[in-house]
Amino acid sequence: MTAIRVWLTRLAGLFRRSARDRALDAELRAHLDDLTDDLIERGLSRTEAEAAARRAFGGVDQIKEAYRDQRGWPSIDSLGQDVRMARHAVAARPASTMLIVAGLGLGIGVSMGFFTMVNAICLRGLPIPDPDRVRFLSARNHDGSAAGISYQDFVDLRRSMLTFEGLAAYTAAPLSLADEDDAPARVAGCYVSAEAFPMLSTAPVAGRALQPDDDRPGAPLTALIGDTVWASRYHRDPAILGRTVRINGVNATIVGVMPDGFHFPGQADLWLPLSAAPGLADAPRTARSLAVFGRLRHTASPVAAQAELQAAQRRLEAAFPASHGDIRFESVRINDHFNGKITEPEWLAFLTAGLLVLLVACANVANVLLARLAVRSREVAIRLALGATRARVVRQLLIESACLAALGGAAGLAFAFVAVRLLAWSYPASSPLPYWIDLTIDGRVLMALVATCTASVLVFGLVPALQSARIGVNGVLKDGGRQTTGARRTRFWTATFLAIEFALTLVLLANVSMSVRRELVDDKPGIEIDPQPLLVAHLTLPPQRYGTEVERRHFYDRLRTEIARVGNVSSMTSSARMPPSHERRGLMLPWREPSETDALAYSTSVGPRFFETLGVPLAAGRDLTIEDEQPGREGVVVNQRFVDLFFVGRPPVGQRMALRDPQNMMAAPTWRTVVGVVPNLRDGDVPEPIVYVPDQDAAASTALVFRTTDDPAAASQSLRRAVAGLDRDLPLDRIAPLSDVLHDASWNGRVSADMLLTIATIAFLLAVVGLYAVIAQSVTQRTPEIGIRMALGASSRAVVWLVLRRAFAYVAFGFAASLPCTYFFERIFVSATSGEHPLLSPITFAPVLVLLIVVTLVATAWPAARAARIAPATALRQD
């Protein structure tokens, strides 16, 4: 009780300091005056009495100090002194403070920028309340691959699961939205059950939510639209509610508008009831296409939910042993489903790269501080001589470092803010990020910032502080501030920090060197498509109208006829995607034993006249035609790499081959005949063996490619008209020149390269500035020594060599240390994916080494020149 009381009054003692000091002054003054008056009455003169009173009272200032110590907490009081002192020390050396703050700011800024990205993509998750109680349900196949849940299973689970307040299901699909008086548009959409949005705690801003009644099979079709569609297509007309539009060619009534920024599950802007999803009710239990989630009841635990889910699975397994024997239901937190996995190599590489830059910055700051402390050793020695404890000196210097880290953190925050905004701004509009990825700085980033600053204080501040507290008081004061004791140890630390800096920097530079070489040296395999006359557009045939292959093929035939009439388009083809994506498949060849492990090839589905349209001449045979799509024809085109790998010594055209179905490895493969060979198309560093397969299912979603005879942009209007002529509800979406499409598709690689270049440049600049600071400092410190050498006849060339030698020694250390660092970096991040070691090679390191030598010379030039100009007489007279 008493202890708490004392503690509280002491706490209060930390505040209202000046008022309390005045009260104490008054009290002590009254005491002294009373005492003086008494002494005067006893016959002393006033002067004598005052002196005697002060003697009897004791030292007023010591009493006050003791009183103050008792009043507050001496450690906190002196902490305030230390902070004030640190502020002065930081402000007194603006040049080196600026250097430190800029360096730290860049280091912290880069790592915070990366953390902001990782936070947005891997940590934050969906913006919903109490997200940990919302669980995502899925099925896992026996081979570990994930699947969704079939509609009938969902209905069973929804009825039987009691640990959940309810279950919701959704499936995303592109939709076409058309009005009487407006051209149709493709909108990212989603079929979603009525329970979904209440469970995400999101309600419409206008109109009403989807009701269970809307989700009943056979109900009149209702729809919710997103704010983006409401604004761009309907100009926020409130009369939109109740209006009838056509979605995928079916009449639907808009009943509500969802709030701005809501695009669940990713980029959706149009939502229909789940029951409206085509073919859903008749789908077999093996059609595991739905994403299912639910909010746990407050009384239920995730463990209970899992147990109930397993019980449900056993029930289904008993009822449907054929289809449910080898799947397992599981539930995870919904954000574990949505978030990127922070353990994936690319995110770890991101965070590691950020950390590398931060470490370089810290090592740099540590060196600047060491250099600064060498100059301040006299100040420290005087404080020690006057009775400061070494712990107090270390604390004071650490507080100084903390002030620097706080400034650096503020600079870093500003840097990260700008960098992240730039990144978000540069992201291609053609493929927006999921709505819940918001590249902003939030509380978690700020907490990481504080932790980073605190940790960095220990990384860069501890060694200099401990170093300086070890100085011998006598030595320093006798030597007139030129430190000799401990100089060797300080030099050891300086060399270590520089080596760390250069080692880490060189790891980054080796990466840059490799990617620059790839860019400059045109040894990339294959021929490049000239994108100039090519135009890309996307088409999705809605299953409501084009449910069968025959209907789709019929549409494509009519489309080809229509397009042939368009004036400035000379040919048309299609591909599942543009740029084409390749799927890895097991390859079977007639002369290979079926027992042999499959060879691997990549397949991509393309339309007729693909190579003619793209302007790629065939090396042998012919292009794919419409006839190749017919069952029984099964012609394919392979690339040169495929021929080199698998058809050695055989004429490629006419060979037979088959690709395994990755969905069903047991199915009998379709044997196909090679009808043509194309050169390798440039795609990546090493050409892969590719099989171009005709589109035998007449895929509903396709990228159309048109070769135009004049301006590609001018053709887009006539193409739209041609499609509208066939189906007025069908939008031709994302029409863009192929060059734009390729540019957007390469965003990832481009931005990664830009980021790498930026952080490598930052790290390199820091390292070079660090080297300069160390060398300049050592020249200042060695001025008398150099003076003596010159007085004894050393030439200025010898002096320059003296300075250069030390610089190169530091850099050589760093270079040596960088080789194992690069090795490990490569083992962890590069060879894990490609199995090659391009990084740690002479070709990569030669330009790095040349750059290093040049930059060392530049950084050392000025200090060396200064050393060479030292006049012996002045140097020796310095004391």
Partner 1 sequence: MREDPSDVPYGTLDLMVLTTVATMGRLHGYGIARRIEQIAAGALELNQGTIYPALLRLEQKGWIKGTWGVSERNRRARFYAITAAGRKQLAAATKSWARTVDVLSRMLSQEA
With CB under 8 A as the contact rule, the residue among 17, 21, 28, 78 that binds partner 1 is 28
Query: Who's near 57: CB < 8 A, 6+ residues apart?
Result: 28, 31, 32, 35, 63
Instruction: Please give the DSSP secondary-structure letter assigned to residue 839.
Output: S
* H or E stretch at 111: helix 94-118
Q: Does 26 bind partner 1 (CB under 8 A)?
A: yes
Rounded to 5°, the CA angle 578-690-632 comes to 95
Q: Does 48 bind partner 1 (CB under 8 A)?
A: no
3 state DSSP class of 273: strand
Q: Does 14 bind partner 1 (CB under 8 A)?
A: no
Q: Does 63 bind partner 1 (CB under 8 A)?
A: yes
In contact, 196 and 168? CB cutoff 8 Å: yes
Q: Strands 733-737 and 164-179: what pairing?
A: unpaired
Q: Does 37 bind partner 1 (CB under 8 A)?
A: yes
- Number of DSSP helices (H) and strands (E) in the chain, helices first: 28, 22
With CB under 8 A as the contact rule, the residue among 40, 44, 51, 60 that binds partner 1 is 60
Q: Does 213 bind partner 1 (CB under 8 A)?
A: no
Spatial CA neighbour of 363 closest among 852, 879, 848, 813: 813
Cα→Cα distances 55→34, 59, 62, Å: 14, 8, 13
Residue 160 CA to residue 182 CA, distance in Å, equals: 45
Q: Does 5 bind partner 1 (CB under 8 A)?
A: yes
In contact, 674 and 653? CB cutoff 8 Å: yes
3 state DSSP class of 73: coil
Which residue number, 65 or 710, has a Cβ lying nearer to partner 1? 65
Beta strands in 93-231 (DSSP E): 134-141, 146-147, 164-179, 182-192, 206-207, 222-225
CB of 28 to partner 1, least distance (A): 7
Stretch that binds partner 1, among 60-68, 278-286, 397-405, 784-792 (CB under 8 A): 60-68
Which residue number, 9 or 232, has a Cβ lying nearer to partner 1? 9
With CB under 8 A as the contact rule, the residue among 16, 59, 81, 600 that binds partner 1 is 59
The residue type found at 33 is D
CB of 387 to partner 1, least distance (A): 21
Which residue number, 19 or 386, has a Cβ lying nearer to partner 1? 19
Stretch that binds partner 1, among 25-33, 130-138, 235-243, 253-261 (CB under 8 A): 25-33
CB of 58 to partner 1, least distance (A): 3
CB of 11 to partner 1, least distance (A): 11
Q: Does 31 bind partner 1 (CB under 8 A)?
A: yes
Which residue number, 53 or 117, has a Cβ lying nearer to partner 1? 53
If 0-12 CB within 10 Å is exposed, 13-18 middle and 19+ buried, where does residue 680 land?
Answer: buried
Q: Does 11 bind partner 1 (CB under 8 A)?
A: no
HSE-CB for 824 with a 13 A CA cutoff: 7
Residue 793 CA to residue 776 CA, distance in Å, equals: 23
In contact, 610 and 718? CB cutoff 8 Å: no
CB of 17 to partner 1, least distance (A): 14
Which residue number, 52 or 473, has a Cβ lying nearer to partner 1? 52
Which residue number, 2 or 595, has a Cβ lying nearer to partner 1? 2
Q: Does 27 bind partner 1 (CB under 8 A)?
A: yes
Strand partners, 635: 673
DSSP string, 591-611: TS-TTSPPEEEEEEEE-TTHH
Q: Does 2 bind partner 1 (CB under 8 A)?
A: yes
Stretch that binds partner 1, among 19-27, 210-218, 362-370, 647-655 (CB under 8 A): 19-27
Q: Does 74 bind partner 1 (CB under 8 A)?
A: no
Q: Does 550 bind partner 1 (CB under 8 A)?
A: no
- The single residue listed with the structure tokens 């695009």 is 263
The residue type found at 833 is T
CB of 15 to partner 1, least distance (A): 15
In contact, 93 and 340? CB cutoff 8 Å: no
Stretch that binds partner 1, among 56-64, 166-174, 469-477, 575-583 (CB under 8 A): 56-64
Instruction: Please give the DSSP secondary-structure letter assigned to residue 84.
Output: H
Q: Does 34 bind partner 1 (CB under 8 A)?
A: yes
Instruction: Report how many residues bind partner 1 under the rule CB under 8 A.
Output: 28
CB of 3 to partner 1, least distance (A): 9
Residue numbers at the binding site for partner 1 (CB under 8 A): 2, 5-6, 9-10, 23-24, 26-28, 30-31, 33-35, 37, 56-60, 62-63, 66-67, 69-71
